[in-house]
Structure 1
Amino acid sequence: MNLNKAMLLGEEGVEPCSNMDVEDAKGLVRLIPIWITSMVSMIPYAQYSTLFTKQGVTVDRRILPGLEIPPATLLSFVSISVLISVPIYEHVFLPIARKITKKPNGITMLQRIGTGMMLTCVNMVLAALVEAKRLRIAEEHGLIDKPNVTIPMSIWWFVPQYMLVGMIEVFGLVGAQEFFYDQVPTELRSIGLAFSLSALGLSNFLSGLLIIVVDWATERDGGHSWFNNNLNRAHIDYFYWLLAASTAIAFFVFVFISRSYVYRRVDQV
């Protein structure tokens, strides 16, 4: 029995669904493909506080003579980026977007999420290039088998990656929360929040699962794991390229789905 028939038929003693109930159910179903693509695009988010930090341990962390910072300190650049990105988004980006699109909101909620996906893909490409440079410097200085020796590469190379994370939060994460909260019936707003939060939570789970699978696949038959304990023999850069590719695929699927998505009418909200 499909949802349209549910309006007319009901079990004995049960009132058939109203037209509004059926439309609400259809609306929730239409959110699922967007939820799945959003979840896939959030998998790289788990790397910012894990692999990024682990890479930072191996490089020169001096920012001033005699002052060395912990690698996790770079996470503060995410907050700095958010503080910078929010006013730029509100007072620079949106006014320009309104003039171009002639829309009161500048861009739609789905366009905001899509922008976050594109930035995530760019960030993974940038992270892969920086890691490749780190490995190249380690090889040039004969440090491949000396994981405890600091690689002569400044930790400032990692700052752009963290700054992009802040922009991704402003566009992607906030956009997803806004979209799922807005596109569910008023009575189901808690489900809307669950959609966005569960996408982020499950993406972290999928990240761990993906690392386990990749580690097993690259280590079998005597090969070197991409996640070797000696990062100078690992290939995290390959993993970042993999994440960039998966995010790009999720983005194109997201665009295809978004083109046919119909927003809830104002009188339904």
Structure 2
Amino acid sequence: MLKMVPILFTTFIPSTLLAQTHTLFIKQGTTLVRSMGPHFEIPPACLAAFITISMLITIVIYDRYFVPLIKRYTNNPRGITLLQRMGIGLALHVIVMIIASLVERRRLNVAKDHGIFEKGKIVPLSIFILLPQFILMGVADNFLEVGKLEFFYDQAPEGMKSLGTAYFTTGLGVGYFLSSFILSTVANVSQRNGHKGWILDNLNESRLDYYYLFFTGLCLLNFFFFLIVAKNFKYKVEKGVDHA
């Protein structure tokens, strides 16, 4: 179990990204045009459903098409190793945050062009501009979340499988606590020396695009740390599975 602890550490930052999808991503949606027709508005929280939808679709594609194709070359029944699957998910998280930063910059530019700076004012931009970051997060979850659950369970010793599963939930829990710490720290630091700050109650005056770029940097550092840890990880010997 101890040899999996470094891998566990690499799951903390990705879990903080999941927290953003249920907090700041949704809050962005409240500032955008949500109407579909004259009598219906989309609840911003509904966008989170696209994470699950895209993950389910990607899982089917992954299992039915990707694995049979790639295992011809790797001779691995799983197609690729569990750590390789997790690594792809971590790389996708970097792309998610870059997209999120670009979308937020677009939202702020439209708000500025229309002179919208007040709290609660709706920016004339469709809420569906947020869809790419939600959908790609679901794709990343297919690789990382599914991969790490299987990894911790698979690599745990016999008789300690439940503890391996607990590693998975521990990563999620720590990530959510870490998200709150990072948010408050960045908010306080960015307001020093008379600066307005990146994270304000009024999103139309905030700079979430900078915050998302900061997260992009964290994801990159975490990805490189994962590569080092994964390279030195020795899989538990499992009959019939090539982990090379």
TM-score range, shorter chain: over 0.9
CA distance in 2, matches of 1:248, 1:162: 19
Paired letter, 2:93: T
Paired letter, 1:229: D
Counterpart position of 2:176: 204
Gaps of 5+ in 2: 240-244
Counterpart position of 1:89: 62
Paired letter, 1:40: I
Gaps of 5+ in 1: 1-27
Counterpart position of 2:233: 261
Deviation, structure 1 residue 204: 0.6
Counterpart position of 1:49: 22
Paired letter, 1:126: I
1:183 counterpart = 2:155: yes
CA distance in 2, matches of 1:65, 1:92: 42
Q: What are the Cα deviations for residues 164-218 of structure 1, in whole angstroms up to 9, with x where unaligned?
A: 1211221111111110111111111121011111011101100100111111101
Counterpart position of 2:130: 158
CA distance in 1, matches of 2:73, 2:111: 47
Counterpart position of 1:228: 200
Counterpart position of 1:9: none
Deviation, structure 1 residue 102: 2.9
Q: What are the Cα deviations for residues 59-82 of structure 1, in whole angstroms up to 9, with x where unaligned?
A: 111233442111111112122212
SS of residue paired to 1:62:
coil
SS of residue paired to 1:232:
helix
SS of residue paired to 2:199:
coil
Pairing partner for 1:137 from 110, 113, 129 = 110
CA distance in 2, matches of 1:83, 1:176: 16
Cα pair 1:41 1:246 within 8 Å, conserved: no
Count of aligned residue pairs for this structure pair: 240
Q: What are the Cα deviations for residues 216-250 of structure 1, in whole angstroms up to 9, with x where unaligned?
A: 10112321121111111101111111111111111
Paired letter, 2:5: I
SS of residue paired to 1:238:
helix
Q: Percent identity?
A: 37
Moved over 4 A (4+): none
CA distance in 2, matches of 1:128, 1:84: 25
Paired letter, 1:64: G
Pairing partner for 1:247 from 199, 204, 219 = 219
Q: What are the Cα deviations for residues 96-151 of structure 1, in whole angstroms up to 9, with x where unaligned?
A: 2213323221000001111111111111111010000000000011112x222211
Cα pair 1:78 1:162 within 8 Å, conserved: yes
1:104–1:58 CA distance, 2 compared to 1 (3 A): same
Pairing partner for 1:169 from 122, 141, 153 = 141
In the TM superposition, 1:32-111 aligns within 5 A as 32-111=5-84
Larger CA deviation: 37-46 vs 103-112: 37-46
Paired letter, 1:108: T
Cα pair 1:127 1:161 within 8 Å, conserved: yes
Deviation, structure 1 residue 83: 2.5
Paired letter, 2:59: V
Cα pair 1:81 1:164 within 8 Å, conserved: yes
Find the structure with the greater CA-based Rg: 1
Paired letter, 1:141: H
**What is the alpha-carbon root mean square deviation over aligned residues?**
1.5
